[in-house]
Amino acid sequence: MADLRSAQWYAGNDRNAYIHRAWMRRGVPGTAFEGRPQIAIANSASDLTPCNSHLNEVAESVKQGIWEAGGVPLNLPVVSLGETQVRPTAMLWRNMAAMATEEMLRANPIDGVVLLGGCDKTIPSLLMAAASVDLPAVVVPGGPMLTGTFRGVPLGCGTDVWRLSEEVRAGTLSEQAFMDSESSMIRSRGHCNTMGTASTMGLLAEVLGTTLPGTAGLPAPDSRLLARAHETGRLIVEMVAEERRPSRVLSSGSFRNAIIALAALGGSTNAVVHLLAIAGRLGIPLTLDDFDEVGAGVPLLVDLQPAGRHLMEDLHRAGGLHAVLREVVDLLDQDALTVTGRPLVDYLPEAQIWDREVIRGRGEPLQGEAGIAVLRGNLAPQGAIIKPAAASPHLLRHRGRAVVFDSIEDFHARIDDPELDVDADSVLVLRGCGPKGYPGMPEVSNMPLPAKLLKEGVRDMVRVCDGRMSGTAYGTVVLHVAPEAAAGGPLARVRTGDWVTLDVEARRIDIDVPQEELDARAPSQAMTDGLARPRRGWEELYVRTVMGADTGADQDFLLGSSGHEVSRESH
């Protein structure tokens, strides 16, 4: 018992131990406090996070496993972020959710934690929290929803919303048909079924080694998810006994593996800011350039929307994550561990591809090079990214005149104006959408195209923005431009009519304006006037202390770990 952290609360016969125990006696046996590991279930179930609403059931299975292995399960509801509901963007609250979870894990008599997440920001915030408190921690990803169909055709969550709404604006789909598809989009419990951010982060949680191997990608309604949750409950008790903490499980090799998997899966660009932020909590040196270097030459093997055709249920049926990883096993760090104490690569030899339409073999990839490309230039001195797998090949090298928007409101007000001076070669530039500017770095970078060009059949244009884009989106979008315009980045000084050159192969994004002239220009007044200026609360703290997208958009004061020690008693 003396070894358990929770013994600092529960052991002994003094007044404080009495208080800590007495209030917890709500029908549990007295032995619950006699040297048994206290396991929190950090549970992001919430009716306002519909993708996570089933996690209470998952938690019940986790609890059974914990009791069975001799631990004591404790449900800990955490700040939960529903990607589709939260304004101005769930990303504004990711770091707050991480901070709140970290502090509650530290403040309470907890020896280990099971992290239940699903919807986009929930797994990243939980992993950031676990890294900063450094208690043994394991993720159960909530899993994707089943495939819904509309008029006989599968609907991809998110991706098909973007596609169908563009069809309406192009005049090729009726508004009624669009509305009719709404009730078909979400077929079951679970998170988005495309290779969006939730799918990506659930799978990468496993690649990082933070899930029971073989769990990520199981559809949310699949009975096997509950069985895995039960086993995870048993595992966390073992992890506590072995002191298998995030600082011992996660290494730079784990992050290299995640970057390789991100490329092979065709995963979300949002994984870049999330992985950088998690690494920052662990003190593991990971940079934007690592995404380009480590991911270089990794082929795209998974034919899932938005880069391809299929959906998460298909990926699982086709062999799942392990079948994909087995194809690139020679690239993986062979020593990177999992929460079981064994390396990730130990779990791959049995994996097989059952459907080569969905998971391609290494010899017949969908694309030879699928990694995130990191661009630099006078428009993005600290970097910007593009996902070539989701872009149009003919636009990867492009020169066009900028059409600049000073805010998302400015964009919406003018984009469909028939008088707007824009053609298919123009480059749409949107600024003031970075972490500080919006605030929170929303998913607005995949700007809808001008209706008049959609009607002419244009389906993609080069777009440049300091915000993010939904992991379910596609297009030739240069995003996460750093420094952001609101932090004085050169994006604030671009003018409509400037020539913009994108050259993905050369990893460049530039405007044809001499540096002295660019430096001499004043930042756009309209953009500056439109920036958020919160005066109190989290938003004020966020804007004051958030760092750039190029380092993960964490708060400066939340970098690193404080460990799990608590200095003082409460009485």
C-beta of 14 vs 47, nearer to ligand FES:
47
Question: What Å distances lie between residue 249 and 42, 212, 283, 405, 500, CA to CA?
Answer: 19, 12, 13, 45, 44
| Contact pattern from residue 14 through residue 53 relative to Mg ion, giving x for each residue in contact according to CB under 5 A and a dash for the rest | ----------------------------------------
Backbone angles phi, psi at 40, to 5 degrees: -80, 145
**CB-nearer residue toward ligand FES: 73 or 196:** 196
Pairwise CA distance, residues 350 & 367, whole Å: 25
State in angstroms the smallest separation of the CB of 248 from ligand FES. Answer: 30
Is residue 374 a contact residue for ligand FES (CB under 6 A)?
A: no
Which member of 200, 470, 501, 551 binds Mg ion (CB under 5 A)? 470
Identify what 191 binds: Mg ion, ligand FES, none; CB under 5 to 8 Å per kind.
ligand FES
- Which residue, among 298, 497, 544, 528, has the nearest Cα to 401 in the 3D structure? 497
119 binds ligand FES (CB under 6 A): yes
- 84 sits near ligand FES (criterion: CB under 6 A): yes
Q: How far is CA 195 from CA 287, 310, 449, in A?
A: 23, 9, 23
Distances (CA, A) of 322 to 262, 327, 357, 516: 13, 9, 16, 52
| Residue 269 binds to Mg ion (criterion: CB under 5 A) | no
* Cβ 304 to ligand FES shortest distance, Å: 14
Q: With CA atoms as reference, report the closest residue to 239 among 43, 6, 438, 66.
A: 66
Does position 160 interact with ligand FES (CB under 6 A)? The reply is no
198 binds, among Mg ion, ligand FES, none (CB under 5 to 8 A by kind): ligand FES
* CB closer to ligand FES, 337 vs 444: 444
Least distance (Å) between residue 20 CB and Mg ion: 40
How many DSSP H helices and E strands does the chain contain? 20, 14
The helix (H) or strand (E) run that includes residue 311 is none
The binder of Mg ion chosen from 111, 120, 238, 554 (CB under 5 A) = 120
Residue 473 Cβ, how far from ligand FES at the closest point, in Å? 12
Sheet holding 112-117, edge to edge: 72-77, 38-43, 112-117, 137-141
**From 42, 83, 411, 543, residue interacting with Mg ion (rule: CB under 5 A):** 83
* Three-state helix/strand/coil letters over 70-99: CCEEEEEECCCCCCCCCCCCHHHHHHHHHH
Whether residue 166 contacts residue 315, with contact meaning beta carbons closer than 8 Å, is answered with no
Contact map string, positions 165 to 194, toward ligand FES, x by CB under 6 A: --------------------------xx--
Q: Which residue stretch of 114-122, 275-283, 446-454, 541-549 sits at the interface with Mg ion (rule: CB under 5 A)? A: 114-122
Q: Which is nearer to ligand FES, 159 or 254 (CB)?
A: 159
Closer to ligand FES at the Cβ: 95 or 197?
Answer: 197
Q: Select 193 or 210, whichever has its Cβ closest to ligand FES.
A: 193
Residue 312 contacts ligand FES per CB under 6 A: no
Q: What is the CA radius of gyration of the chain?
A: 24
Tokens at residue 177, please? Answer: 């048909």
Token couple for 246: 């995030």
Backbone angles phi, psi at 448, to 5 degrees: -60, 145
Q: Which is nearer to ligand FES, 52 or 101 (CB)?
A: 52
Q: Which does 119 bind (CB under 5 to 8 A by kind): Mg ion, ligand FES, none?
A: ligand FES
Q: Is residue 314 involved in binding ligand FES (CB under 6 A)?
A: no
Nearest distance in Å: CB 432, ligand FES: 24
Q: Cα dist. 97→101, 124, 129, 289, 539 in Å?
A: 6, 10, 8, 27, 13
Closest C-alpha among 129, 168, 163 to residue 560: 129
Q: What is the smallest separation between the CB atom of 158 and Mg ion, expressed in angstroms?
A: 7
Taking CB under 5 A as the rule, does residue 467 contact Mg ion?
no
Binding partner of residue 281 among Mg ion, ligand FES, none, CB under 5 to 8 Å per kind? Answer: none
Cβ proximity to Mg ion: between 83 and 238 the closer is 83
- Two tokens, residue 87: 């304004």
- Report the residue number, 84 or 528, with the smaller CB distance to ligand FES: 84
SS3 string of 132-183? HHCCCEEEEECCECCCEEECCEEECCCHHHHHHHHHHHHCCCCHHHHHHHHH
259 binds ligand FES (CB under 6 A): no
Taking alpha carbons only, the member of 306, 144, 152, 169 closest to residue 225 is 144
- Tally Cβ neighbours within 10 Å of residue 92: 26
Stretch 174-233 residues interacting with Mg ion (CB under 5 A): 197
83 scored as a contact of ligand FES (CB under 6 A):
yes
Mapped onto helix, strand or coil, the DSSP state of residue 337 is: strand
- Total binding residues toward ligand FES, as defined by CB under 6 A: 11
Place of tokens 């992993």: 127
Minimum separation from the CB atom of position 197 to Mg ion (A) = 5
Nearer to ligand FES, 119 or 323 (CB): 119
| Contact region with Mg ion (CB under 5 A), list: 104-112, 361-369, 451-459, 463-471 | 463-471
Residues forming the site for ligand FES (CB under 6 A): 51, 83-84, 119-120, 157-158, 191-192, 196, 198
Residues of the shown chain interacting with Mg ion in the complex, contacts defined by CB under 5 A: 83, 120, 197, 470
